[in-house]
């Protein structure tokens, strides 16, 4: 499965809060690096741990929505509030020949989300 397709499946699984669909796109030994900008970040390993963390990030803000975007030239997802503020950026990586997501990067560090939250001045 192509990386674009996996990102779309991940987005749909998170939007629908579908644990089976989420598990189907994550590799059993998936790794997730979480950059929170403080000491609470770190690394998670395993489909169960990463799935829980992704669901928790979406649930953390009751008014979030998800959007498919390009993250560093590759498919990814933004988590943003109804006012448009991006509160998380998710990048994914797929190993060659794999049909599941091998690595996930989640950035929720406000300082690293600045360029995602730039507003154009009103006319």
Q: What is the pLDDT of residue 120?
A: 45
Which tens digits make up the pLDDT trace of 42-66? 999 999 999 999 999 888 877 889 9
Q: What is the mean pLDDT of residues 2-18?
A: 92
Domain locations in the chain as residue ranges: 3-113
The C-alpha angle with vertex 89 and arms to 28 and 106, in degrees rounded to 5, equals 40
| pLDDT above 60: residue 25 | yes
Considering the four listed CATH numbers 1.10.3470.10, 3.40.50.970, 3.10.450.50, 3.40.449.10, the one that applies to the domain covering 3-113 is: 3.10.450.50
Tell me, yes or no, if the pTM score tops 0.75: yes
Which 3 state secondary structure label does DSSP give 115? helix
- Which burial class, exposed, middle or buried, applies to 80 when counting CB atoms under 10 A from its CB (0-12, 13-18, 19+)? buried
């Amino acid at each position: 499965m192509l990386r674009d397709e996996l990102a779309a499946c991940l987005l749909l699984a998170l939007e629908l809060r579908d644990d089976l669909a989420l598990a189907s796109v994550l590799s059993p030994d998936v790794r997730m690096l979480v950059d929170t900008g403080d000491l609470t970040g770190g690394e998670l390993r395993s489909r169960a741990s990463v799935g829980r963390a992704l669901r928790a990030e979406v649930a953390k803000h009751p008014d979030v929505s998800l959007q498919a975007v390009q993250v560093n030239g590759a498919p990814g997802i933004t988590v943003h509030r109804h006012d448009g503020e991006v509160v998380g950026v998710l990048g994914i990586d797929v190993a060659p020949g794999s049909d599941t997501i091998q690595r996930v990067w989640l950035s929720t560090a406000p300082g690293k989300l600045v360029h995602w939250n730039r507003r154009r001045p009103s006319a």
